[in-house]
Structure 1
Amino acid sequence: MAKPNYSYEKRQRELAKKQKKQDKERRKSEGSAPGTPESGADQEAQPQDAPPPAPPPA
């Protein structure tokens, strides 16, 4: 059985955290621009790639 590569996993977590922080800073800077809505909660609630929720069965 292969030995787990913990340094690779740690690096991936660090990269994900760095990307998330950059996205947050970018959204924050875009939201502070005049004339833009400051509420980004609606966009975060549903990702763009997700299909719309299915209607309940009748």
Structure 2
Amino acid sequence: MAKVNYKFQKRQKELDRQKKKEEKLLRKQEGKDQPEAEAAETAMAGADGE
């Protein structure tokens, strides 16, 4: 029977954590950018209506 490669498992787990963390940061950045863009569009639409 083959031995378990714990170092490989640990490295994969670390990579998964790092990837998940980066994705979370991207979602946070998108969330911050989106309200500003919507606010700018709303302000422009209001200015066009007058």
1:16 lines up with 2:13 in the alignment: no
RCO (CA 8 Å, sep 6+): is it higher in 1 or 2? 1
Cα RMSD after superposing both structures: 0.5
Q: With the length of structure 2 as denominator, give the TM-score of the two structures.
A: 0.67
| Percent of aligned pairs sharing the same letter | 49
Tell me the amino acid that sits aligned with residue 24 of structure 2.
Answer: K
2:7 equivalent to 1:7 = yes
Unaligned regions of 5+ residues in structure 1, if any? 36-58
Which deviations, in whole Å up to 9, do the C-alpha atoms of 1:8-34 show, x marking residues without a partner? Answer: 000000000000000000000010011
Aligned length: 35
* Runs of 4 or more consecutive aligned structure 1 residues displaced over 4 Å after TM superposition: none
SS at match of 2:4: coil
Greater helix percent: which structure?
2
- Between structure 1 and structure 2, the one with the greater Rg is 2
TM-score (norm 1): 0.58
- Partner AA of 2:10 in structure 1: K
The gaps in structure 2 that reach 5 residues or longer are 39-50
